[in-house]
Structure 1
Amino acid sequence: MSARLMKKILKEQEAALHQEDSEDDSESPDSSTASRRNPFDILDEDEDEEKEQHNDSDDVDQVDKSEINDRSSTGKVDMKYSSKTTDTINTSTSSNQRSKKKKKKSKENSHTSTRNPQKSLDVVLENLSVEGDSSCRKDIASHSTEAKVLNTNSNKSVKKSSSSILQIDPKFLSAENELRRIFGSKVVSSFERNNQTGSSRQARGIRRGSQNHRKTILVHPSEHWPRWDGSLTMELLETRDEINYFRYVHSASYSQAQRAFEAAKAIHDLNGIVNILVHHPYHIDSLITLAEYYKFSGELQMSSDATARCLYAMECAWHAMFTPFQGKCQLQYSHDTNKPFFSVLFSHMKNMDRRGCHRSALEICKLLLSLDSDDPMGALFCIDYYSLRAEEYSWLERFSEEYKSDNSLWLFPNFSYSLAICRFNLESREDDKKTESLKASSSDLMKQALMLHPTVLKKLVAKVPLKDQTFSRILGHSIFASEKSGSLSLDHLVNIYVERSYLIWRLPDIQKFLKDSALSVIEMLEKKEADSRDWTCVRKEAFSSDKNEYSHLLVSEFSDSVPTLPPDNLQNFMVDPRLAVNNGEQPANRPVRDLSNRNALAVLFESMLPWVDYGTEHDDHPQDHEG
């Protein structure tokens, strides 16, 4: 470009600027000097404008930066104070006009913010589209206080929504994750590879290639399991008080398999049940029966695998709205189709305990309680055991205080003793010494448990066993001499507690704690500092029923020991399939079993199997049934 043309362009621009400045004389007192300046200096001025805008916004940010950050997280952020408009600058007349106007506005805003910082903060908050209480905006400090209050309220609301004592953490449901935390990833990975090799060899004759299984939370499906057939579904029954009620539903093919299972069960045909699983690999009752058979034959790994297959099938059938881990779903035990799920969960919980995955067992126990508050499986009488084994001491204390919003759990023998052990373990921690003065001591809790349920001590001494001679002298006292409390319900719960939790009392520290507390109780009674009759009245009031209200809970179900049967006795369950008839009808000439020459223990174990039913009919002429 020539110098002459350059001068011409500059003159035209200066004339245009002079004309505009003369019109806006009252607004801009510096217009007389603007015509004598190089228009390219506007670039430098715009850079200064950008710096001033950033400085102004930084001043506001420094007033209460944390407040703006908190409020901007609401998702309504609108960055109107951004300086993007100064990114592109042209030397044309229109761009110069815009830049001069912006400079005037920015100067006015900077003066205003200097005079009234409160107003500038309000402007920023309005630009952020935050809904706030205008009555609280009196000064800068009030905005900071308001932000803190809002954060506190939001935290309280989150706490309130997640404060359910039975809230389940899905990551602790996985036994594999817990085993990795206990033994390390390398050991568990090596063990899993060996198991997968053995399983693939067993399944090689059945099918080849791995199955694409669904991702589930309760169990991890094995590669040799068949593909989910979708024969089981779930339906939403109703929604009441923000709680969704569900029920499992059988498909037509599943109902047909169920009828075949009932027919095979009626004639004790285990072969028929296995045949059902060949055509319907996820028939729940057949898998439960097979799991029980493997358990009594000593094949615990295969029994656990059959139980896990049940859980996998029932989780695949979950409704889209069935979210049991959030505590807003109910699966009532009163529906027949729901009962197998509770039974399988209970068996899976015991399998996790046998593997040493006590935290996983605790989460499953919490799931059982959350699905039906009536607690049909008696999860309330083993949740304290799993809490102690998982070292969830603080949670157990919270549970005893918050569950069902009352404090009556300590009246049960399992909670009465477990809370004392829980407090004993917490007192040994340095971080809990501050709260010792706010709660009853472990010694007081143990004395209370011994006076409320003295029959527990004698059964613990025999079951653990406690071989210290001091316990023999303690049991000689009148308060600990009896094994009966006078209430059938209480005696049954004591038996369940001793059978479930006796392993905890094998620790030397716990035994010494029990011995010292029992001696203190005897000393208090001899000095008449305590009256055992008061505790007798409390027991009678808490367990006033003449009947055993917990007879549906078998003591053997809470035991760690697994009864096994010799192969000869197991063969008695393998009835000849020729006795089966079509349409699931039972033959009229069904032979009656003669139990007179059978081993009593074998008959007892046999009666526990779900497919065994001796009936109630008394046959006076057994020869009439002989073939």
Structure 2
Amino acid sequence: MLDHVGELSRLFGSEVIGGSETYLRRKRSRVKRGMLVSIKSTWPPTVRIGLSMEPLGCGSYTFVHSKEYQNIQRSFYNALESMNPNNLSSILYENPYHIDSLLQLSEIMMHQEDTTVGTDLLERALHAFQSAFHPSFNPFNGSCRLDFKRQVNRGLFVALFRYILKISERGCHRSALEYCKLLLSLDYEDDPLTVLLMIDRYAIYSRQYSFLIDLYDSLNGSRNLYLLPNFGLSIPLARKLIGEDPEKCDGNKMSVDESLQDALIMFPGFVSRLLKHTSIGGITNLEKSILFGKEVLLSESDSLGCLLSLYVARMHPLWSSPNVLPWLEKNIATVLTLVEPKQLHLSESNTIDPRLSEYSKRRKTLYPAFPPKILRHLILSEVSEAPPILPRNLTSSPIYTFDPLPPRSSINIYDPEEERRRVRETMAGSGFLNGLLSSFLPSSSINAELALRGPSGAPIVSENASGSIGGIVRSAAETFSATLRQVLDMIDIRTVGLENEDNNHNNSSDEAP
């Protein structure tokens, strides 16, 4: 069981996150521990939710949906196509552990900046999964597998990925790292959400440098991790932070300094992007240099640029820190002497480092369009500096964050496109504006706003109404957030009521002669 609340307490002290040690002990006594998340006492019981798991052999498992759950899932697709979040709330009220409703509504609440409710919905989804685990399934032993190609399994991958992002925002980097290990182990060969693009961040921020170095050494030969900017740059950083002598070579292994210099020659776009967050002291006009200026423009593909932007967005605070930045500056200066003719004052005996041209060719040829698993990572990460670069064939269909870019070889028990087509035919007469806004707003709020408009659709002007689309969006979004909170409160109240009935029944039985 992973405990990010305990990690917060160790980092900041119990008073910061919830009061005294006595308070924390009382709180934990009221919370049951699950394999993935703690079980809150206000949550409904996971009884007959229609989700189970069965073994497939050779350490592989799959989730199973009951017939009742399958009917709920089809209702979910209908609600999704209706583009009315209130319909999703209705499904959740009747079925508080329906996975995709929890994931979709969690995403909506996160975008409304209601992270408390959004995170709670994510944790409920994880609790539903952990309640369905087969007795022999232990995700922490590293040998249990879930096939991402199976439609019924993908919700757990998505829920874990998004939960990692949320707890890391709270500073729980060690817990985030452990969840990363778990997520990577579920489909170790394919890594369908490309956990390897972020595991280095949590390893370094939680000071698990040896783990990261060992992971790189074990996988680099088979997966060419050195071509990923995050590993190319984070491995020398981890070696530096673990205390290796920066200039000492170990056999055929580069020194820490040489390793960083090699990464800078391979990924010069890292420096140009880092300059947006900090200044490189003692070095001027980097953008006019061959490597950090011209080469970035001429040889960096869009895909490589996106990976570098993602890395810098996640790691720039550490690279800009006082104990790292001077080391980086020293090695940038060394690289300039290796690749810049003006710095070398070339004579017949001096040549430019051959890696300048060799790595330029690599950057041009080794980073084509992203495979789906990297696109899934970018879609779920939602890093504004690194939006996913989607090919044209993917831009014509909706992409849902509860199941982004299903594999072509997906093993389905549902056909979402067929469900959407059927609902679209039913809704063919709906107005364009209403349908557009309903993609993220409750229909009642939209209809109420449209009622304020004149016969031609023009807004009726008043002193207190702007009549702007932005005003409609804000008002309706706030209304939906409040509605969803009420739904969750009703579910919790219903749960407490059932528990009280059970307690009263037990007490009366105890008192009977």
Fold conserved between structures, TM > 0.5: yes
Shift of 1:217: 2.1
Partner Cα separation in structure 2 for residue 593 and residue 247 of structure 1:
41
Q: Does 1:507 align with 2:321?
A: yes
Q: What does residue 502 of structure 2 align with?
A: none
Partner Cα separation in structure 2 for residue 508 and residue 307 of structure 1:
37
Partner Cα separation in structure 1 for residue 186 and residue 285 of structure 2:
46
**Residue in structure 2 matching 1:287, options 102, 105, 129:** 102
Cα deviation code 1:330-384 (max 9, x no counterpart): 1111111111111100111011101111010001111111111312212110001
Q: What does residue 229 of structure 1 align with?
A: 47
Q: 1:345 to 1:524 in 2, by over 3 A?
A: same
Q: Does 1:461 align with 2:283?
A: no
User: Contact 1:427/1:436 (CA < 8 Å) preserved in 2?
Assistant: no
Q: 1:371 to 1:301 in 2, by over 3 A?
A: same
Letter in 1 for 2:353: A
Letter in 2 for 1:229: V
Once the two structures are superposed, the pairs formed by residues 239-388 of structure 1 within 5 Å of their partners are 239=57, 243-372=58-187, 373-388=189-204
Once the two structures are superposed, the pairs formed by residues 74-473 of structure 1 within 5 Å of their partners are 170=1, 173-185=2-14, 187-188=16-17, 190=19, 215-236=33-54, 238-239=56-57, 243-372=58-187, 373-403=189-219, 406=222, 408-427=224-243, 437=250, 439-462=253-276, 465-468=277-280, 470=282, 472-473=284-285
**Residue in structure 1 matching 2:370, options 531, 544, 548:** 548
SS of alignment partner, residue 326 of structure 1: coil
Partner Cα separation in structure 2 for residue 377 and residue 488 of structure 1:
20
Partner Cα separation in structure 2 for residue 514 and residue 434 of structure 1:
14
Which structure has the larger Rg? 1
Partner Cα separation in structure 2 for residue 257 and residue 314 of structure 1:
16
Q: What does residue 337 of structure 2 align with?
A: 523
Give the CA RMSD over aligned residues.
3.5
List runs of 5+ in structure 1 lacking aligned partners.
1-169, 200-209, 563-582, 607-627
User: Contact 2:246/2:257 (CA < 8 Å) preserved in 1?
Assistant: no
Q: 1:213 to 1:262 in 2, by over 3 A?
A: farther
Q: 1:486 to 1:405 in 2, by over 3 A?
A: closer
Partner Cα separation in structure 2 for residue 232 and residue 489 of structure 1:
41
Q: What does residue 46 of structure 1 align with?
A: none
Aligned length: 391
Q: What does residue 310 of structure 2 align with?
A: 496
Partner Cα separation in structure 1 for residue 287 and residue 107 of structure 2:
39
Q: 1:435 to 1:407 in 2, by over 3 A?
A: farther
SS of alignment partner, residue 423 of structure 1: helix
Cα deviation code 1:165-188 (max 9, x no counterpart): xxxxx5xx2102212322344554
Partner Cα separation in structure 1 for residue 30 and residue 330 of structure 2:
59
User: Contact 1:458/1:483 (CA < 8 Å) preserved in 2?
Assistant: no
Q: TM-score, normalised by structure 2?
A: 0.68
User: Contact 2:54/2:63 (CA < 8 Å) preserved in 1?
Assistant: no
User: Contact 2:273/2:312 (CA < 8 Å) preserved in 1?
Assistant: yes
Shift of 1:468: 4.1
Q: What does residue 116 of structure 1 align with?
A: none
Q: What does residue 589 of structure 1 align with?
A: 429
SS of alignment partner, residue 325 of structure 1: coil
Partner Cα separation in structure 2 for residue 530 and residue 414 of structure 1:
23
Partner Cα separation in structure 2 for residue 515 and residue 555 of structure 1:
30
User: Contact 2:247/2:257 (CA < 8 Å) preserved in 1?
Assistant: no
Letter in 2 for 1:275: S
Q: What does residue 534 of structure 1 align with?
A: 358
User: Contact 1:249/1:337 (CA < 8 Å) preserved in 2?
Assistant: yes
Q: What does residue 479 of structure 1 align with?
A: 291
Q: 1:414 to 1:336 in 2, by over 3 A?
A: same
Q: What does residue 122 of structure 1 align with?
A: none
Shift of 1:491: 2.5
Q: 1:213 to 1:376 in 2, by over 3 A?
A: same
Letter in 2 for 1:454: P
Letter in 1 for 2:431: P
Q: 1:414 to 1:484 in 2, by over 3 A?
A: farther
Partner Cα separation in structure 1 for residue 230 and residue 52 of structure 2:
35
User: Contact 1:234/1:248 (CA < 8 Å) preserved in 2?
Assistant: yes
SS of alignment partner, residue 171 of structure 2: coil
SS of alignment partner, residue 509 of structure 1: coil
Q: Which has the higher contact order (CA 8 A, sep 6+)?
A: 2
User: Contact 2:299/2:361 (CA < 8 Å) preserved in 1?
Assistant: no
Q: 1:400 to 1:336 in 2, by over 3 A?
A: same
Shift of 1:191: 7.6
Partner Cα separation in structure 1 for residue 82 and residue 97 of structure 2:
22
Shift of 1:503: 2.5
